[in-house]
Amino acid sequence: MIKSKKEKSVRKKMTTAAKVKKTTERVAKAKTTKKRAVRSSLMPKKEVRVKRKMPQIAPAKVEVVPIPTPAIETPKVKERIKKPRVEKKIKPVQIEKKVQVPLVPPLVPLKELELDFPIVVKDLAIKLQQKPSVVIKTLIDMRVMAGINQFLDENNVKAVCEKYGYGIRKALGKEELALQIHQKKDRAKDLKFRAPVVTLMGHVDHGKTSLLDAIRKTNVADREHGGITQHIGAYRVVLPHGEITFLDTPGHEAFTAMRARGASITDLVVLVVAADDGIMPQTQEAIDHARAADVPIIVAINKIDKSGVDIDRVKKQLSKQDLAAEEWGGKIVTVPVSAKTGEGVDNLLEMIILEAQMLELKANPDRFAQGVVVEAKMTKGRGSVVTLLIQNGTLQLNHNIIVGKFYGKIKAMFDDHGSSVTSAGPGFPVEVLGVSGVPLAGEQFFVIEDEKKAKELALIRLNKNKQEQMKTAKKISLEDLHSQIEQGKIKELKLIIKADVQGTLEATKDVLGKLQVSEIKIGIIHTGIGNINTSDVVLAVASNALIIGFNVVADVRAKEMVTKEGVEVKTYNVIYELANDIKAAVEGMLEPKIKKVMLGKCQIRKVFRLSSHGTIAGCIVNKGKINRTCMVDLVRNGQVVFEGKLSSLKRFKDDVKEVAEGFECGIALAGFDKIQEGDVIEAYEIQKIARKL
């Protein structure tokens, strides 16, 4: 059968379409197979399942191992299980005890805060790293009302810091920091013996300077006006047995203040008494100043070269001043000397050296110097010239010093002979140049390593001095003595008594001696004949004493000094007025006797609680009377449950001052409202009975 061209073309197309379809299916199948292969390679499910199945087989094989010993392990397991159970019952008790130990408060303050006092609330909050509002709330809880800029005292600050786990330490000021090096104690091996500082004291024209002149082999008295020493002089004497530093103080009344400063810086006092004059008024003053300084006394009886002198008479006078000589059974060394002939001078020096050895005076020369100003003056060409006495350490050229409110760098140093020196050790007096001003005699000086710190410290002291001058210092008086005793500021009344004659002086001392009581001690530190002078005022300032005068007045200079220093001076013309005044003052200082005087008694019949007036007790007065101003005790079942005052006392609706026995009244107690029926109110008064000597 012959096919037409048309059929051939149709068949050809069908064959081509079938091939394409078959090829497409093959490619699709290949792609599907490839995807499955890739997918199977990326999925580790079969491998994981194989690995998970392997441990299941291993335990089945291993399970055979523990089977042979089940009976041996079973009791051990039971024992191990039982032991923890027993321990668990005991452990909680032990844990509770251990937990309570760290809560003990003494271990809380781990840190210390360095604070400057007084401190404001804001600064305290910054130190505590707290908000000011939190600190204020803490203060309110302590019942202390303080604003953010209000100062707090040390006790409140300490309480607040303890609540936050801090202790406090007072911060050192700039002055304390600068002088901290001088406060360090010296080691015993660094201490070496130093020269004693000896002060010559006594009455005018008794030969103090002449005696020192004989010791120094120089003529000092001729350079003084009228042969009287007008300033404190410091001199160093080198002897075969050691060195001695002498201070020559004035003996005239007008220079008593300088003599007092001389006694305050000395180790030993040589009291010069003329054999022909004996004990004089200014000799007595010198003895009192030496005793106030609490230093040993050696008596040099001078002018024994004069004819007709009686040394025993002088020793008898000394015994009356509690300065009995050793040969008379006392403890005071007395040496007869003559400044004119030199007799006994060597013996006096030996006694001084011996006494100094007994005192064991030591200092450390290997440190910065500190000491005291002996005298200071301003001169032309040299400026401020200051005489310093080194008490510890060594002073050298170019050292920076701070003395009082002044500072300076040591430009030059001279000894007592005027020779230039480069260093001065303990007990060495020197004149120095370079101080910025003229300090007062008796002021302390310190060596400061840094010149800048010395200037800063001097400025601080200057400002402090200005502030202190603005405040008027008030000395002790009879009027404020009682308040100071109550505050614990004073336990002894010190008196300086001056009288016109010896008889009235002794009578005054006897009267005052009978006024001794347990609360206050009356001590007479100085007595004298004559007007009140500057010496008395200086001693009163130094010892905080009262000056009592009988038939005497104060001289012009003493009055000026009394006004300046604020010393209490009382003068009398009748001895009984003096005695009664002191007696009344002492009696007023005594605590009065307290006595309870019962007024009446009432019983509470009814209690009314009102919103406007509080709790009111309806009472009837059984005995005596009830006053509006009396003190009351509320007695319940025989015990006092309240002591205080009445806030109101009424009869019906009226306020009354008093309710008599047998009448009814309404009573309200001040600050107490827990009143019950059947309570008893006892009224009484407190009477203070003055104590008499």
Domain ranges within the chain, ordered by starting residue: 5-38, 44-100, 107-171, 195-360, 370-470, 481-589, 593-689
> Do 370-470 and 481-589 show the same overall fold?
no
pLDDT value, residue 5: 62
Which residues neighbour 167 within 8 Å (Cβ) at sequence distance 6 or greater?
A: 109, 111, 112, 113, 161
- Coil, strand or helix at 610: strand
Element (H, E) at 392: strand 383-392
Higher pLDDT residue, 181 or 225?
181
Which CATH superfamily groups domain 593-689? Translation factors (2.40.30.10)
> Strand, coil or helix: what is 302?
strand
- Look at residue 181 and tell me whether its pLDDT is greater than 70: yes
Query: CATH assignment of 195-360, given 3.50.50.60, 3.40.30.10, 3.90.1150.10, 3.40.50.300?
Result: 3.40.50.300
Question: What CATH number does the domain located at 107-171 have?
Answer: 1.10.10
pLDDT digits (tens, 9 = 90+) for 92-129: 444 444 444 444 444 444 577 777 777 888 888 888 88
Asked if 251 and 203 touch (Cβ cutoff 8 Å), the reply is yes
Helix (H) or strand (E) holding 356: helix 345-359
pLDDT tens for 59-80 read 444 444 454 444 444 444 444 4
Which class in CATH covers the domain with range 370-470? mainly beta
Which whole number is the average pLDDT over 5-31? 71
pTM for the complete prediction?
0.51
Q: Please report which confidence band the pLDDT of residue 469 belongs to, taking 50, 70 and 90 as the band edges.
A: low
What pLDDT digit, counting tens, does each position of 385-405 carry? 888 989 889 999 999 898 888
Q: Among 216-230, 476-490, 514-528, 565-579, which stretch is predicted with the lowest mean pLDDT?
A: 216-230
pLDDT at 525 over 50: yes
The stretch 520-527 carries a mean pLDDT of 79
Q: What's the pLDDT band for 130 if we cut at 50, 70, 90?
A: confident
- pLDDT tens digits for range 544-573: 888 888 888 888 888 888 888 888 888 888
Residue 41 has pLDDT above 70, yes or no: no
Helix axes 208-216, 345-359, angle to 10 degrees: 90
Question: How far apart are the C-alpha atoms of 653 and 669, rounded to whole Å?
Answer: 17
691: confidence class by pLDDT, cuts 50, 70, 90: low
* pLDDT for residue 673: 82
Mean pLDDT, rounded, for 177-203: 82
Contact 262, 234 (CB under 8 A): no
**For 473-502, what is the mean pLDDT?**
63
- Token pair, residue 174, equals 């700039």
Q: Per-residue confidence at 6, pLDDT binned at 50, 70, 90?
A: low
The answer on pLDDT for 543 being more than 60 is yes
Q: Pick 175 or 359 by higher pLDDT.
A: 359
pLDDT at 619: 92
Residue 520 has a pLDDT of 66
Q: Give pLDDT, residue 76.
A: 46
Strands 233-239, 242-248: parallel, antiparallel or unpaired by DSSP? antiparallel
Percent of the chain scoring above 90 in pLDDT: 5
**Tell me: the pLDDT tens digits for 242-300?**
888 887 665 434 344 544 555 567 888 899 999 888 888 778 888 887 787 778 899 99
**CATH of span 481-589:** 3.40.50.10050
